[in-house]
Amino acid sequence: MAGNIMLEVVTPDKAVVSEEAQIVVAPGEYGEFGVLIGHTSFLTTLKIGMLRYKDSGGAERIVFVNGGFAEVLPDKVTILAESADRRRDIDMDRAKAALKRAEERLAEVSRREDFNFRRAEIALQRAVTRIKIGEARRGTA
């Protein structure tokens, strides 16, 4: 079926994306999935990762997503994430500082009982993924 699908990426504090896409590829909890117009409806959880889509002009766009949910309808994909950032909005210095903090926390975990390993691990994952997206090939936004 020809045509674009509507993509919405929403977090508790902002609407990050609201535009038509030719294709959307999202980081599902059980693997990446692609959606074109006319897809069967489904609901799934997402992991921390990279959401990719082609905008209506065919340009590739990349968005960091901090887990959440995806609702797929035949003509619309809605992503509800705890946080999300378009590639061009990622502050690399901030992500690198977050990575350093998370690494220091992880190094502390074995020595400090009050430190939460899982929490530090997830923070590390967010930072690493933001950095990876920020360093992705030029020409994508």
Chain contacts with ligand ATP (rule: CB under 6 A): 13, 66, 83, 85, 89-91, 94-95, 98, 123, 126, 130
Nearer to ligand ATP, 39 or 130 (CB): 130
Between 35 and 62, CB nearer to ligand ATP: 62
Long-range contacts of 97-106 (CB under 8 A, 24+ apart): 98/123, 98/126, 98/127, 98/130, 99/124, 99/127, 99/128, 99/131, 102/127
Paired with 7 in beta bridges are 19, 77
CB atoms within 10 A of CB 129: 20
| Least distance to ligand ATP, CB of residue 75, Å | 27
Smallest gap from residue 135 Cβ to ligand ATP (A) = 12
Closest to ligand ATP by CB, 74 or 97:
97
Q: Tell me the closest approach of the beta carbon of residue 38 to ligand ATP, in angstroms.
A: 32
Which DSSP helix (H) or strand (E) runs through 73?
A: strand 60-73
When the beta carbons of 76 and 86 are compared against ligand ATP, the nearer one is: 86
* Shortest distance (Å) from residue 95 CB to ligand ATP: 4
